């Protein structure tokens, strides 16, 4: 498989302690790589090292097969990025900020600026300076700046922070379109696990500066459990009946009223009948799929991502 980004034993040390250590990350060409981890896990530092904002203490980064320090001019033309909240010049409008960035890239084409502002729905804000923008508008301008030069690789750190649901939906569609139609490789980190779940092809999980898991989303989906949730009148009694009559089905109690079981959907009617005959009231049966959030929480040993 072709990899656009590869890190080899990447490490960063601040004040004697490693904030990133021994990270070997592989971002396949043309795919969306979701980088997950709690705050302080080292995701942003890894991305900053890829963008030459922070120098690695050890290890190396290969972008497009080349060491990122060898030919920055050639490599960084192909990359678009957002790191945390986007930074622009307060006194300039969206158009002028983008014109400035294009100018620094040595490009004078203004059509692409107008097009990209339309894409992120900022084309009507012609006179408002950046300082007057809302958080969502700033984020959309950041995305515009990242994609204006049609990069082959997008490195996006929390790109949907501050966006409203419609804004998130627009950006999600845009990223999927870029990946599927243009073959843009995307490395994205986000706290919104459901968003990552919808767009990522590969997942990397970081914890305490280490990459503890790197897995294809398809394989992960196969691994994720499908289970049935029964809402019952008496969970203790129901659990006893299940253990006695269906010893092969794992069963656990959730809250006061729910029983979770690893069953095949076809078996649910039999279980339902058995429970009712045993004097347990069943008010709801739902087939559930384990979420990325549950997988993530299990992987890092409990706790949520925030």
Partner 1 sequence: MLNLVYCEILKLKNAKMVGLSVMGAMAVPVMMFLEAIQVHFEHPEQVFALADIYDDSLLYVMLLVNTMVYVAVTAYLFSREYEEKTLKTILPLPVLRVKLLFGKFITLFLWTVVLSVVSWGGILIFSGCYSVVFGLEGFELSVILQWLVCFVAGGILVFLTISPYAYLAEKTKGIVAPMIVVAVMVMGNAALCNQKFGALYPWVSTYLLMKGELAGSGYPVWLSLGLVVMLSIFGYAATFSYFLREDLK
87 binds partner 1 (CB under 8 A): yes
State which of residues 1, 16, 39, 106 lies at the interface with partner 1 (CB under 8 A): 106
150 binds partner 1 (CB under 8 A): no
CA distance 185 to 41: 23
Q: Is 12 helix (H, G, I), strand (E, B) or coil?
A: strand
Neighbouring CB atoms inside 10 A of 180's CB total 11
Nearest distance from C-beta of residue 145 to partner 1, angstroms: 6
State which of residues 24, 67, 77, 279 lies at the interface with partner 1 (CB under 8 A): 77
Nearest distance from C-beta of residue 88 to partner 1, angstroms: 6
- Residues in a beta bridge with 251: 261
Element (DSSP H or E) covering residue 21? strand 17-23
74 binds partner 1 (CB under 8 A): yes
- Near partner 1 in 44-73, by CB under 8 A: 48, 51-55, 72-73
Nearest distance from C-beta of residue 120 to partner 1, angstroms: 15
84 binds partner 1 (CB under 8 A): yes
* The two three-digit tokens of residue 261, written as one number: 């079981």
76 binds partner 1 (CB under 8 A): yes
Nearest distance from C-beta of residue 134 to partner 1, angstroms: 17
Neighbouring CB atoms inside 10 A of 301's CB total 7
Closer CB to partner 1, 106 or 301, in the complex: 106
Closer CB to partner 1, 45 or 263, in the complex: 45
For partner 1 (CB under 8 A), the number of binding residues is: 36
User: Which candidate, 236, 250, 241, places its Cα nearest to that of 272?
Assistant: 241
State which of residues 81, 184, 185, 235 lies at the interface with partner 1 (CB under 8 A): 81
DSSP assignment, residue 86? -
79 binds partner 1 (CB under 8 A): yes
x/- site string to partner 1, residues 122 to 141, per CB under 8 A? -------x------------
**Residues at the contact surface with partner 1, assessed by CB under 8 A:** 14, 48, 51-55, 72-77, 79, 81, 83-92, 96, 99-101, 103-106, 129, 142, 145
């Amino acid at each position: 498989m072709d990899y656009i980004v590869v890190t080899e034993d990447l490490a960063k040390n601040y004040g004697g302690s490693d904030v990133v250590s021994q990270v070997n990350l592989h971002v396949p060409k043309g795919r969306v790589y979701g980088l997950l981890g709690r705050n302080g896990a080292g995701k942003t530092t890894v991305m900053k090292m890829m963008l030459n904002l922070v120098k690695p203490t050890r290890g190396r980064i290969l972008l497009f097969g080349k060491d990122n320090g060898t030919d920055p001019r050639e490599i960084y033309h192909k990359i678009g990025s957002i790191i945390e909240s986007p930074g622009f010049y307060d006194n300039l409008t969206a158009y002028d900020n983008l014109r400035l960035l294009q100018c620094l890239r040595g490009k004078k084409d203004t059509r692409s600026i107008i097009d990209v502002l339309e894409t992120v729905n900022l084309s009507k804000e012609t006179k408002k300076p950046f300082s007057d923008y809302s958080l969502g508008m700033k984020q959309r301008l950041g995305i515009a700046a990242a994609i204006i030069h049609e990069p082959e690789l997008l490195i996006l750190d929390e790109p949907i922070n501050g966006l409203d649901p419609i804004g998130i939906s627009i950006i999600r569609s845009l990223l999927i379109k870029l990946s599927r139609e243009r073959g843009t490789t995307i490395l994205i980190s986000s706290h919104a696990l459901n968003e990552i779940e919808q767009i990522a092809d590969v997942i990397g999980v970081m914890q305490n500066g280490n990459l503890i898991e790197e897995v294809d989303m398809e394989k992960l989906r196969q691994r994720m459990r499908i289970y049935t949730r029964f809402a019952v009148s008496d969970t203790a009694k129901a659990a006893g009946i299940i253990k006695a009559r269906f010893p092969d089905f794992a069963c656990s109690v959730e809250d006061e009223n729910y029983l979770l079981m690893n069953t095949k959907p076809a078996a649910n009617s039999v279980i339902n009948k058995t429970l009712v005959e045993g004097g347990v009231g069943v008010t709801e049966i739902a087939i559930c799929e384990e979420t990325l959030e549950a997988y993530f929480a299990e992987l890092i040993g409990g706790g949520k991502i925030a």
